[in-house]
Structure 1
Amino acid sequence: MKRIQNIFPGKSLVPAKADYVELKTSWKVDIPAGLTVGIVALPLALAFGVSSGVGPAAGLVTAVIAGLVAAIFGGSNVQVSGPTGAMAVILAPLVAAVHGVNSVALLSIMAGVIVVLLGVTGLGRAVAFIPWPVVEGFTLGIATIIFLQQFPSAFSVDLPAGTNPLQGAVYTLQNLSGTSAMSIAMVLGVAVLMVVLPKIHPAIPASLVAVIVAAVAATLLNLQVPRIGELPNQLPAPVMPEVNMDLISSLAGPALAIAALAAIESLLSARVASTMPGPSGQTTGPYHPDRELFGQGLASVASGFFGGMPATGAIARTAMNVRSGARTRASAIIHALLLLGVVYLASGWVGQIPLSALAGVLMVTAVRMVNLDTIFRIFRSTRADAVVFTVTALITVVFDLIEAIQIGIAAAAFFALWQVAKLSGVVREEIPGAAEPEDRNIALMRVEGSMFFGAAERVLQEIGGLKDINVVILRLSSIRVLDATGANAFAELIKELHNHDVTVLVKGVQDQHWRLFKNVGGFSALAKQGLLFDELEPAVAKARSIAREREELR
């Protein structure tokens, strides 16, 4: 352990006794919480495996292996990890059209290594820069894709290879068959049970009960609907996937996209869980973002060696864990061990579950991911936030998840900079004190706000128009942010005014801005000429003296 701690920057990236300090008192709630989450996770793990194209066995293996590794090494005490809808969405087209099922294990390992490196290099805190409308638009887009992806299983229709979710849904509705009616009935039955059972008692594992009822009904009635099929009754032995440079090169882009998605989804889930109150009203406490990435990366690597798929923190299962009272990571470990027991003891029964039943579970899950109140709040906030939310959701559905996040962040940044730029400006002030005749040839200008690339040119154009005077005093003490573009704009302004025989005096350069002004803005020459001032009164006196000399020369 000491050797590991020497490799990585900080002991907090590896497990410690402190992770289980509450276990002496919390085991009474951690154990039932873990069992509850495990029961809920079973149908979801199977469904996401099917939805991603790698198969239910890979989904179950991922939930066991990745769930266990992330629970031990992750940075959250309550995070539950495994296959998720977002990961299924990004994997499905890769499996179907490009690389095939056999490459998923290597893809998982490659993406996991990237996520580990993100954690080791301290980039875990970058999630704080993802705006709220982007997160919610991304969530809405994923929910829509998950819902659309279930149409083929829900209606028992085989899709042509390479069909995206939207096209697949349209194709499915155009090619319904006799089997579709039975599958639709099963989907509706599962949906009704998942809605009604929690109202009878919130502790009922509605999704599990629903798929069991569907499986029993399909067997007793001898319904000819597609089933999960045979599942392994033990974990596969860990194997290093086939590796060659051509395959690694072709998987590099998808691995980066999956790593980005895994990092973002896991950190968002952990962040939400850290502020979510449990049954007692007490929150679960802070999480360590870098360690969370480190643990999630190891989880995907381990999953790949066992033939699984990339994993992330799962917000729905994590929320269930918190609401069930979990206090330590022991609950997530128990969840993984329960699923391991299913592999060894109940794989034959699980294989009889109809695919349409799993489609119903995911359809209800997708609908529950959409929070109408949140959407209304975003649209009531600002027009810019509404645009960012809408653009992110549409791009997620129509194009690509990672592109959606990138474009959403870019759009949010553009609108944020635009708002900051609007608050930046220049104001012409009255010269203090008793008026003197030469004051008519002096302009006192206060620059305020942020002088950066988005505002510098517009602000300084207003000053550049002052060419019918002799002296300009620039008050810079109200500048909050300055970048190289802003400093260079001042240098160009001073040069332009000088060419029109206008002298520039500067008052109030802040200490944090002086080096940039000196290196970029040409203020060293002003300092040598005695044209930089800390106080306004001597600056005004100097300006009047210069203006008076100009008048005498005329």
Structure 2
Amino acid sequence: MKHSRLLALLPSRTDYRAVPRTWRADLLAGVTVGIVALPLALAFGVSSGAGAESGLVTAIIAGIVAAIFGGSNVQVSGPTGAMVVVLAPIMAVQGTSALALVCLLSGLIVLLAGVLRLGRTISYIPWPVIEGFTLGIAVIIFLQQVPTATGTQPGESTNAAISAVQAAMTATWPKLGWSLLLVAIVVVIMLASMRFAPRFPGSLIAIVVTGLLVALLDLPVDLIGELPSGLPAPTLPSGDLTAVAGLIGPAFAVAALAAIESLLAARVAASISDTGPYDADRELVGQGLASIAAGFFGGMPATGAIARTAVSIRAGARTRVAAIAHGLLLLAVVLVGAAVVSRIPLAALAGVLMVTACRMVAPATVRAVLGSTRSDAVVFVITAIVTVSVDLIYAVLIGLLAAGFFALRQLAKASGVHREELPGSVQPGDERIAVFRLEGALFFGAAERMMERVSEMRDIEVVVIRMSQLQILDATGAQVITDMIHSLERRGITVLVKGIQPRHLQLAERVGVMASLRHQNHLFTDLDAATAHARSHVARAAAT
């Protein structure tokens, strides 16, 4: 069984059974998404601090490896904006020499998560948290481009907003003016392409136009610089145990982000295409191997890229061949066009990422979240603010905590303790019997409220607790029932329990609900029998 489960995480012949029918469409989609990915790979590499070459290597190596080993038929992987956001501070503190180790460690963590079958945990992240996280990332990506867009160096602060202000304060003319002009040209071309020719790669056209402008006018702006005319030779990451220990924390942050973003992208890809479901655990295995492989070649950690994946799907991608072809096209660019790529102005890449950041979150989505419920809106805003001001991983954790708090509060409100009339005709002594119906959820968020309600009773001799309508019972709820029974019995009030559901019976026994009853006959499955027993207690008390 374990052997077959491990085999399910590996590539198989069935991954390519549709290729004889779809290879033409797959190749066309691969070329299309490769053209779109080229400027993004360069821009993300520069923005992360690892360099344009690292971005290209990641798109090539990680893109191909993730396509072969991943769990999605159409996912396109490579450097992404979210990874840049979490990687840039690490590079600023640890230096580029730590990049290979970060890739290796984070890749191993993601790989292990896939082997341990942790892929489905992504389904527990609420929608407002995801959208708030995405909005925060978009803001950070935009702010990170300010230094490049103004022809300056990033500020000293690790906070993107403060760093952007610090960088802008050091801008000088005429470099500032020419850089902003290139950014404006890129923005206009990309927006015009989206509006009038959405099938054309507006980002690539903008890069070509600005590159020609800089070359013809010899403008005083920063360029990508020299790139190797081929892939670097693979090398083993270097570092001692001290270096590894110092990178464990950052590696976990990178791994968590890679897993979250890749699984979200794979889930969205499966929802917008009819190429079959995705395997979440295998996707983690593929992304882990992709980051490890990229690290050996000087690349950066990779994730699934939903924007590029969507482009590939719209271009007709049906199998993994499309993502593989995308990587091979980028490899061809490196082999034959490195000299041309080195002349691309950095300000143009900043413009590409600024437009990309603005497109990451649709205004309609923001309005939908803010207009849903007050709690969802609060979770969305909190997650976005923490993402921008503190840290991406903390943002997800705090967002989950906030969402959990509101969910538990709503669940507690849906639970109830209701006093009911006794069934049948009224008999003498019924006023000394109280029947309480527990419904909904009795857990730590609602148990105290039930205890307060029952403790308010006066002049009662018998209490019947109906539990047949109780949907959720946790250990705290069971313990509250136990304590309540003990408290009532000490006051001389007999407690009868009716209708414990079979799925709650074992928990009730372990916590001590049954043991707290005065007699084992005080547990009932029928309300009429419980009522008759309660009336007999009242009658005997009256007779004495």
Shorter-chain TM-score range? over 0.9
How many angstroms does 1:108 deviate by? Answer: 0.6
Q: Does 1:198 align with 2:194?
A: yes
- Return the letter of the residue paired with 1:292: E
Tell me which moved more, 299-308 or 165-174: 165-174
Q: Does 1:100 align with 2:91?
A: no
Question: 1:509 and 1:160 mapped to 2: Cα distance?
Answer: 64
- Return the letter of the residue paired with 1:132: W
Question: 2:455 and 2:512 mapped to 1: Cα distance?
Answer: 15
Question: 1:441 and 1:328 mapped to 2: Cα distance?
Answer: 73
Structure 1 match to 2:350: 359
Structure 1 match to 2:323: 332
SS state at 2:8 partner: helix
Structure 2 match to 1:143: 138
Structure 1 match to 2:298: 307
Query: Number of aligned pairs?
Result: 543
Structure 2 match to 1:166: 161
Q: Does 1:391 align with 2:382?
A: yes
Give structure 1 stretches of 5+ with no counterpart: 278-282
Where in structure 2 are the equivalents of 1:258-407 lying within 5 Å? 258-277=254-273, 283-407=274-398
Where in structure 2 are the equivalents of 1:206-245 lying within 5 Å? 206-245=202-241
Give structure 2 stretches of 5+ with no counterpart: none
Question: 1:102 and 1:172 mapped to 2: Cα distance?
Answer: 24
The answer as to whether partners of 2:294 and 2:300 remain within 8 angstroms in 1 is yes
How many angstroms does 1:6 deviate by? Answer: 6.7
- Return the letter of the residue paired with 2:113: L
The answer as to whether partners of 1:83 and 1:310 remain within 8 angstroms in 2 is yes
Q: Deviation per CA, 1:420-442, whole angstroms, max 9, x where unpaired?
A: 00001111011010101110100
Structure 1 match to 2:243: 247
Structure 1 match to 2:524: 533
- Return the letter of the residue paired with 1:208: L
Q: Deviation per CA, 1:222-262, whole angstroms, max 9, x where unpaired?
A: 10100000011111111111131101110000011110000
Q: Deviation per CA, 1:7-44, whole angstroms, max 9, x where unpaired?
A: 67342200011111111111121111000000100000
Question: 1:518 and 1:528 mapped to 2: Cα distance?
Answer: 14
Tell me which moved more, 108-117 or 9-18: 9-18
Question: 2:24 and 2:502 mapped to 1: Cα distance?
Answer: 58
SS state at 1:233 partner: coil
The answer as to whether partners of 2:190 and 2:202 remain within 8 angstroms in 1 is yes
RMSD: 1.3
SS state at 2:276 partner: coil
- Return the letter of the residue paired with 1:388: V
Where in structure 2 are the equivalents of 1:430-441 lying within 5 Å? 430-441=421-432
Question: 2:459 and 2:33 mapped to 1: Cα distance?
Answer: 75
Q: Which of 27, 35, 38 is the matching residue for 2:34?
A: 38
The answer as to whether partners of 1:111 and 1:259 remain within 8 angstroms in 2 is yes
The answer as to whether partners of 1:112 and 1:301 remain within 8 angstroms in 2 is yes
Question: 1:161 and 1:340 mapped to 2: Cα distance?
Answer: 35
Structure 2 match to 1:280: none
Q: Which of 467, 470, 473 is the matching residue for 1:479?
A: 470
How many angstroms does 1:308 deviate by? Answer: 0.8
Q: Does 1:80 align with 2:76?
A: yes
How many angstroms does 1:202 deviate by? Answer: 2.4
Question: 1:228 and 1:304 mapped to 2: Cα distance?
Answer: 21
Question: 1:445 and 1:180 mapped to 2: Cα distance?
Answer: 74
The answer as to whether partners of 2:42 and 2:53 remain within 8 angstroms in 1 is yes
TM-score (norm 2): 0.98
SS state at 1:381 partner: coil
How many angstroms does 1:460 deviate by? Answer: 2.4
- Return the letter of the residue paired with 1:49: G
The answer as to whether partners of 2:34 and 2:326 remain within 8 angstroms in 1 is yes
Q: Deviation per CA, 1:528-547, whole angstroms, max 9, x where unpaired?
A: 53000101111000000011
Structure 2 match to 1:257: 253
Where in structure 2 are the equivalents of 1:173-192 lying within 5 Å? 173-178=168-173, 179-192=175-188
The answer as to whether partners of 1:273 and 1:284 remain within 8 angstroms in 2 is no
Question: 2:167 and 2:253 mapped to 1: Cα distance?
Answer: 29
How many angstroms does 1:525 deviate by? Answer: 5.1
How many angstroms does 1:116 deviate by? Answer: 0.5
Percent identity, aligned pairs only, is 53
The answer as to whether partners of 2:494 and 2:518 remain within 8 angstroms in 1 is no
Aligned in 2, Cα 1:527/1:349: closer, same or farther, shift over 3 Å?
Answer: farther
How many angstroms does 1:445 deviate by? Answer: 0.6
The answer as to whether partners of 1:93 and 1:162 remain within 8 angstroms in 2 is no
Aligned in 2, Cα 1:8/1:225: closer, same or farther, shift over 3 Å?
Answer: farther
- Return the letter of the residue paired with 1:295: G
Question: 2:236 and 2:518 mapped to 1: Cα distance?
Answer: 67
